[in-house]
């Protein structure tokens, strides 16, 4: 049943919205919440003692956002390490400075990205992007599956938001400049050779 | 054998080397231990540093479930040549393990470092990182360090070899100096080198040169002193030799010189010339005059003795001279010479303070060279005894036999004393009124080896000559006192003047009297003649004995010139009339008168009279008639070893 639903949603997405790479989505859903905990001042970003992981989406991507929420809840079982968390789904239009968020995950958007990046910057929270190309618009992290999983970090945003991460994170991420993304022209279709690993990984998790 | 030299330089270098080597080895060991530990710690720290560096990355990748990245990291780690294996465990499950190609070959020379993997930004342990680290670097460090130390040690040995050679060279002058000084004697001058060196060796050389000068100077002085002393010693030796062989008074050769001549000349003849009664000259005119007469006599003798016969005039001692013929003349000629000599001596007149003195001599001569001095002396004594002017030694003089007898008796006496064979015999003395024994005279007897009783006639004189007399007296005193200690009877002991003059004997008498408590029983008999000659000593002795409670008797009274005055002074208790008077009492009227006078005198002085030698009834009756108080003699009782008391 779950498989049918998942297939249905995928088909809806294919029919009405942006095509998301399920493997990448799951990889990001597995890793990004954990990165929140690598913020040395995470306590300052708790809302009512909880980590609020806000997913910003386009209306047409609601189902994707919902599936991500479910995946996260299933994966983390309501807590990130010692903190409880809440996944908050917010449409682009509704996202503002008042929106509760300890970190924001932005699905693929054609517009409003700068606005979200600005809010995140103002709030001093981490911003994750599904699409690495959105980093040049001011989002902080993205994850790409190449030969191995690569975590990208926009250096300027890191300096701007003044978020302090554990040192190791900075050692393992690949920093990107503004023009880096253009030069490399990330094409997910070409990066599928490493997906087998994650496919296996996620399959194991389901079992 | 030449003594092996202990080189000082070698010793110094050896000691320094030994001390340094021991210190070096100690420091080496200590450093080696510390450095090995330090090297090991360095390698451990390096491994830990790698772990602590990589751990956060691995932790993050595990945290983010990026296990493939963990794999990459471990692969990166293994590129380090010192890392042999890396193992990453997540909840005890190996998530990555990688081994270097050298792992198998080097696993024994490695150590393992573990580090816990903590979740980033949390203290939660999420895994373990295990590193197998090679000891290769550690070993290389240790090897390099050891090589360095060995090099230092070799350098050190080389340095000390050079140092030892240098010290040896520095001290070599001392050896040269020692070699030179070894054969030094004060009569030679050696030039000690290195005098000009301005160091310790120079100082020593300089000091030795100075010392050499002082020694030479001192030696010269000593040689002069020695020479002087040698001369003095020689002079003194001559003087002493002269004194040794010369009589100091007359300057004639002495007895030692004569003995030397007698031994040297085997065919000589000797005569000893003794001046008669020379003691009287000394006593009358004094020793100074006597000495002058001897000097004068020596000169005149020298003049008298013609040079016809080769002879030596000797002054033996005091009034005795000798003339030794180096070659004996014919016997007749020898006798003629003696007669001639005697006549010539009689003619010699000495003057002293207008007095003319003449002397007579007695000559003892021997015609035999062997034991000439002794034989001439025997001949002289025989001549004196026989009242002859001279006598030539002859075996018939039998003097040697007398000497032999004396020797034998001395031997017997010694044996008797040692074997307790001197015994007192007791002859009873009877009271003439009661006819009872009132006293006993203790008479000495000697028992020979067959227990035969020997009379004192045979040994008493010899005892006096051989100085055993005092021993006999002591034995008599002790045994007599002991015998009469518990007997109710008086007893008398004969004492000679030698006994009285001997302090030791006097003390012994006093001690024995007190020891045996016989003061009221003992009567000490003294000889009348001897008393008078030594009046002072005898008087003192009598006083001392009487103060103890003893009684005194005069023995053999009437045998000499009886001196009644002394008798009065000496406070005598008994008079024992001489036996020669008693035994003739029956026949000789003069004797009777003498005895009557003595008895009368004694009675008036309350002195008891004893008659000895009462040998028959007639004498006994006469004694009684004369009113003599006590009698003793063979008629009444012979001396026995025990007293026949009732």
- Verify whether the Cβ–Cβ distance A81 to B59 is below 8 Å: no
Q: In terms of DSSP bridges, do strands B574-577 and B361-366 run parallel, antiparallel, or are they unpaired?
A: unpaired
The arithmetic mean of pLDDT across residues A98-124, rounded, is 87
Residues B430 and B356 grouped into a single domain: no
- Domain assignment present for residue B156? The answer is no
Please state, in angstroms and rounded to a whole number, the distance separating the CA atoms of residues A151 and B47: 29
Set of chain A residues whose Cβ sits within 8 Å of the Cβ of B56: 166-168, 171
Residues of B in contact with A38 (CB under 8 A): 60, 120-121
Does the ipTM exceed 0.90? no
pLDDT tier for residue A2 given thresholds of 50, 70 and 90: low
Per-residue pLDDT at A195 exceeds 50: no
Domain that includes residue B60, residue range: 8-146
Asked if residue B327 and residue B296 are part of one domain, the reply reads yes
Are residues B386 and B491 located together in one domain of the fold? no
Distance from the B103 Cα atom to the nearest Cα atom in chain A, whole angstroms: 28
Closest approach of A38 to chain B, Cα-based (Å): 6
Report which DSSP code applies to B5: P
Q: What is the DSSP string of B91-145?
A: TTEEEEEEE-TTHHHHGGGEEEEEEEEE-TTS--EEEEEEEEEESHHHHHHHHHH
Question: For chains A and B, what is the number of CB pairs under 8 angstroms?
Answer: 50
Rounded to a whole number, what is the distance in Å from the CA of B100 to chain A's nearest CA? 23
User: What pLDDT, in 10s, does the model give residues B221-270?
Assistant: 988 999 999 999 999 988 888 888 888 888 888 888 888 888 888 888 89
CA-nearest residue of chain A to B64? A31
Q: Which residues of B fall within a CB distance of 8 Å from A42?
A: 121
| Shared domain check, B20 and B65 | yes
Percentage of chain B beyond pLDDT 70 is 95
Q: Is the pLDDT of residue B43 over 90?
A: no
Domain borders along chain A are 21-206
Name B246's bridge partners.
B253
Angstrom CA distances, B636 to B430, B454, B537, B614, B632, stand at 8, 21, 35, 7, 7
Domain boundary among B397, B427, B442: B397
Selecting from B61, B66, B121 the residue whose C-beta is nearest the C-beta of A40 gives: B121
**Cβ distance of A149 and B122 shorter than 8 Å:** no
B121/A167 Cβ within 8 A: no
> Does a structural domain hold residue B28?
yes
B466 in a domain, yes or no?
yes
Residues of A with Cβ-Cβ distance to B53 under 8 angstroms: none
The angle subtended at Cα B211 by Cα B210 and Cα B217, nearest 5°, is 95
Residue B183 domain-assigned? no
Highest mean pLDDT among A62-66, A92-96, B555-559: A62-66
Distance from C-alpha of B477 to C-alpha of A41, rounded to nearest angstrom: 141
Q: What one-character-per-residue DSSP string does B196-265 give?
A: T-SSHHHHHHHHHHHHHHHHHHHHHHHHHHHHHHHHHHHHHHHHHHHHHHB-TTT-SB-HHHHHHHHHH-
Are residues B303 and B263 located together in one domain of the fold? yes
Whose tokens are 């979740």? That residue is B119
Quick one: closest CA in A to B65, which residue?
Answer: A31
Query: How many beta carbons lie within 10 A of that of residue B431, not counting itself?
Result: 14
Domain edge (last residue) among B363, B397, B431: B397
Q: Output the average pLDDT for chain B.
A: 86
* Token code pair at residue B46: 């390096």
d(CA B472, CA B594): 34
Please classify residue A4 by burial: count the beta carbons closer than 10 Å to its beta carbon, then call 0-12 exposed, 13-18 middle and 19+ buried: exposed
| A36: closest chain B residue by CA | B121
Same domain assignment for residues B434 and B582: yes
Torsion of CA B155, B160, B162, B168, to 10 degrees: 180
The answer to whether residues B233 and B377 belong to one domain is: no
Question: Which value, to the nearest 10 degrees, does the dihedral of the CA atoms of residues B203, B205, B207, B212 take?
Answer: -170
Residues B210 and B337 in one domain: no
CA-nearest residue of chain B to A29? Answer: B64
Query: Given an 8 Å threshold on Cβ–Cβ distance, is A30 in contact with B65?
Result: yes
Mutation for B interface: A38, A128, A153, most B CBs within 10 A: A38
Domain boundary among B372, B397, B422: B397
Q: 10 Å Cβ neighbour count for B158?
A: 10
**What's the CA gap between B358 and B6, in Å, rounded?**
88
Alpha-carbon span A33 to A80, nearest angstrom: 8
Question: Coil, helix or strand for B390?
Answer: strand
Highest mean pLDDT among B202-216, B280-294, B609-623: B609-623
Per-residue pLDDT of B600-641, as tens digits, reads 989 988 999 999 999 999 999 999 999 999 999 999 999 999
Residue B161, pLDDT above cutoff 70:
yes
Residues facing residue B577 across a β-bridge: B557, B611
Tally of residues, chain B: 646
Chain B interface, Cβ < 8 Å to A: 56-57, 59-61, 63-66, 68-69, 72, 119-122, 124
Interval B384-400: pLDDT, tens: 877 788 888 876 666 66
**Over the stretch B464-517, which tens digit does the pLDDT of each residue have?**
877 788 999 999 999 999 999 999 999 999 998 888 889 999 999 999 999 999
Same-domain status, B241 and B262? no
Contact A168 B56 (CB under 8 A): yes
Q: Which of B54, B60, B69, B119 to mutate to test the interface with A (most CBs of A within 10 A)?
A: B60
Mean pLDDT in residue range A120-133:
91
What are the pLDDT digits (tens) for B395-430? Answer: 666 666 677 778 888 899 999 999 999 999 999 999
**Same domain membership, residue B350 and residue B366:** yes
Give a yes or no: residue B165 inside a domain.
Answer: no
Question: Is B386 a domain residue?
Answer: yes
Q: How far is residue B254's CA from residue B466's CA, in Å, rounded to a whole number?
A: 28
Number of folded domains that form chain B: 4
Q: How far, in Å, CA of B12 to CA of B177, rounded?
A: 19
How many CB atoms lie under 10 A from the CB of residue B329? 17
Closest Cα to residue A143, out of A115, A169, A168?
Answer: A169
What residues in A contact B59, CB-CB < 8 Å? 168
Distances in Å between the alpha carbon of B283 and those of B317, B320, B348, B570?
17, 17, 21, 29
**pLDDT tops 50 at residue B139:** yes
Q: What share of chain B is helix, strand, coil (3-state, %, to 5)?
A: 55, 20, 25
The pLDDT of residue B32: 82
* Residue B389 maps to a domain: yes
Query: Would you state the pLDDT for residue B580?
Result: 83
Distance from CA of B120 to the nearest CA of A (A): 7
Token pair of B285 as six digits: 């005119």
Dihedral sign from CA coordinates of B338, B339, B341, B346: positive
Instruction: Give the CATH number, domain containing residue B389.
Output: 3.30.70.270
CA B10 to chain CA mean position, Å? 50
Residue contact B69–A30, C-beta within 8 A:
no
* CATH code of residue B73: 3.30.450
Q: Would you call A37 and B60 a contact, using CB atoms and an 8 Å cutoff?
A: no
Contact A130, A31 (CB under 8 A): no
pTM score: 0.43
DSSP three-state, residue B275? strand
Contact A37 B61 (CB under 8 A): no
Q: Which residues of A touch B (CB under 8 A)?
A: 30-31, 34-35, 37-40, 42, 81-82, 148-149, 151, 166-169, 171-172, 197, 201
Shared domain for B382 and B268, answered yes or no, is yes
User: What does the pLDDT average to over B120-142?
Assistant: 87
- To the nearest 10 degrees (0 to 180), the angle between helices A62-76 and A2-16 is 150
Q: Which residue has the tokens 């932790």?
A: B59
CA dist B199 and B535 (Å) reads 92
Decide yes or no: CATH 3.40.50.2300 for domain A21-206: yes
In A, minimum Cα distance to B124 occurs at: A81
CA distance B70 to chain A (A): 11
Cβ contact (<8 Å) for B64 and A34?
yes
Shared domain check, B379 and B301: yes
Nearest CA in chain B to A32: B64
Q: What percent of chain B has pLDDT over 90?
A: 28
CA distance A16 to chain B (A): 33
Query: How close does chain B come to A169, measured CA to CA in Å?
Result: 7
Q: Whole-angstrom Cα distance, residue A122 to residue A13?
A: 32
Task: Determine the pLDDT at residue A193.
Answer: 40
**Which phi and psi (to 5°) does residue A149 adopt?**
-75, 130
| Closest Cβ opposite residue B60 in set A82, A168, A201 | A168
Q: Which of A38, A40, A148 sits opposite B69 (nearest CB)?
A: A148
User: Residue B523 pLDDT > 90, yes or no?
Assistant: yes
First to last CA, chain A: 15
Nearest of A90, A120, A119 to residue A107 by alpha carbon: A90
pLDDT tens for each residue of A133-170: 888 888 999 999 877 788 999 888 888 888 888 888 88
| pLDDT over 70, % of chain A | 76
Q: Which residues contact B517 (CB under 8 A, 6 or more apart)?
A: B485
Nearest-by-Cβ selection for A149 from B66, B120, B121: B66
C-beta atoms of A166 and B72 within 8 A: no
**pLDDT number for residue B213:** 87
Question: Which residues of chain A have a CB within 8 Å of the CB of B65?
Answer: 30-31, 201
- Judged by DSSP in three states, B496 sits in coil
Chain A residues whose beta carbon lies within 8 Å of the beta carbon of residue B72: 148
Question: What pLDDT is attached to residue B530?
Answer: 57
Shortest distance between the Cα of A25 and any Cα of chain B, in A, equals 15
Q: Is B488 a domain residue?
A: yes
């Amino acid at each position: 049943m779950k498989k049918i639903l998942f297939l249905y949603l995928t088909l809806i997405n294919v029919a009405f919205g942006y095509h998301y790479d399920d493997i990448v989505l799951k990889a990001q859903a597995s890793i990004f919440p954990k990165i929140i905990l690598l913020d040395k001042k995470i306590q300052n970003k708790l809302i009512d003692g909880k980590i609020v992981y806000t997913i910003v989406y386009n209306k047409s991507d609601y189902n994707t956002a919902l599936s991500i929420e479910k995946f996260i809840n299933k994966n983390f079982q309501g807590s990130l390490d010692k903190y409880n968390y809440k996944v908050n789904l917010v449409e682009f239009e509704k996202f503002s400075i008042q929106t509760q968020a300890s970190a924001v995950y932005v699905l693929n958007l054609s517009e409003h990205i700068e606005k979200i990046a600005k809010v995140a910057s103002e709030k001093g929270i981490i911003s994750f992007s599904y699409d690495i190309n959105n980093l040049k618009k001011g989002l902080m992290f993205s994850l790409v599956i190449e030969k191995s999983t690569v975590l990208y970090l926009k250096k300027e945003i890191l300096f701007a938001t003044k978020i302090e991460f554990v040192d190791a994170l900075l050692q393992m991420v690949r920093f990107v400049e503004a023009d880096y993304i253009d030069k490399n022209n990330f094409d997910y279709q070409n990066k599928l050779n490493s997906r087998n690993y994650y496919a296996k990984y996620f399959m194991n998790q389901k079992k | 054998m030449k003594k092996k030299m202990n080189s000082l330089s070698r010793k110094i270098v050896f000691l320094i080397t030994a001390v340094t080597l021991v210190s070096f080895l100690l420091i080496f060991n200590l450093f080696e231990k510390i450095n090995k530990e330090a090297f090991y710690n360095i390698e451990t720290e390096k491994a830990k540093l790698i772990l602590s560096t990589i751990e956060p990355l691995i932790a993050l990748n595990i945290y983010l479930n990026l296990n493939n990245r963990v794999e990459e990291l471990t692969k990166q780690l293994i590129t380090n040549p010192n890392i042999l294996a890396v193992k990453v465990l997540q909840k005890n499950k190996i998530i990555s393990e990688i081994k270097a190609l050298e792992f198998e070959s080097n696993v024994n020379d490695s150590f393992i470092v573990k580090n816990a993997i903590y979740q980033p930004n949390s203290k939660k342990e999420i895994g373990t990182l295990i590193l197998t680290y090679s000891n290769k670097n550690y070993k290389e460090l240790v090897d390099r360090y050891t090589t360095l130390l060995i090099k230092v040690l070799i350098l050190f040995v080389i340095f000390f070899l050079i140092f030892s050679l240098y010290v040896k060279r520095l001290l070599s002058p001392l050896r040269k100096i020692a070699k030179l000084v070894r054969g030094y004697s004060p009569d030679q001058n050696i030039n000690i080198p290195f005098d000009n060196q301005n160091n310790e060796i120079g100082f020593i050389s300089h000091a030795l040169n100075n010392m050499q000068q002082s020694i030479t100077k001192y030696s010269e002085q000593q040689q002069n002193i020695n020479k002087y002393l040698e001369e003095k010693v020689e002079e003194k030796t001559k003087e002493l030799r002269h004194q040794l062989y010369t009589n100091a008074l007359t300057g004639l050769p002495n007895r030692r010189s004569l003995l030397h001549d007698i031994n040297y000349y085997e065919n000589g003849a000797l005569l000893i010339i003794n001046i008669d009664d020379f003691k009287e000259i000394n006593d009358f005119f004094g020793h100074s005059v006597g000495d002058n007469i001897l000097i004068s006599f020596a000169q005149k003798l020298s003049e008298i003795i013609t040079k016809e016969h080769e002879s030596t005039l000797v002054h033996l001692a005091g009034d005795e001279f000798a003339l030794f013929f180096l070659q004996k003349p014919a016997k007749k000629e020898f006798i003629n010479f003696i007669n001639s000599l005697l006549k010539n001596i009689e003619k010699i007149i000495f003057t002293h303070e207008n007095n003319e003195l003449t002397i007579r001599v007695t000559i003892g001569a021997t015609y035999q060279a062997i034991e000439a001095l002794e034989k001439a002396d025997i001949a002289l004594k025989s001549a004196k005894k026989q009242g002859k002017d001279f006598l030539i030694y002859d075996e018939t003089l039998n003097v040697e036999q007398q000497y032999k007898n004396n020797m034998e008796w001395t031997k017997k006496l010694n044996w008797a004393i040692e074997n307790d064979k001197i015994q007192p015999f007791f002859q009873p003395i009877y009271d003439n009124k009661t006819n009872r024994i009132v006293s006993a005279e203790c008479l000495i007897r000697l028992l020979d080896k067959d227990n035969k009783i020997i009379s004192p006639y045979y040994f008493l004189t010899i005892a006096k000559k051989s100085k055993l007399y005092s021993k006999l007296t002591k034995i008599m005193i002790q045994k007599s006192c002991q015998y009469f200690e518990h007997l109710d009877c008086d007893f008398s002991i004969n004492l000679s003047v030698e006994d009285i003059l001997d302090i030791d004997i006097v003390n012994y008498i006093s001690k024995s009297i007190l020891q045996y408590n016989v003061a009221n029983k003992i009567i000490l008999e003294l000889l009348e003649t001897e008393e008078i000659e030594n009046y002072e000593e005898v008087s003192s002795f009598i006083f001392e004995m009487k103060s103890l409670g003893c009684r005194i008797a005069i023995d053999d009274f009437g045998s000499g010139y009886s001196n009644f005055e002394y008798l009065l002074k000496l406070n005598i208790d008994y008079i024992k009339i001489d036996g020669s008077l008693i035994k003739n009492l029956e026949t000789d009227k003069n004797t009777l008168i003498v005895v009557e006078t003595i008895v009368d005198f004694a009675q008036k002085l309350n002195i008891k009279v004893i008659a000895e030698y009462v040998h028959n009834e007639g004498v006994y009756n006469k004694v009684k008639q004369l009113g003599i108080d006590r009698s003793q003699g063979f008629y009444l009782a012979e001396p026995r070893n025990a007293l026949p008391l009732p």
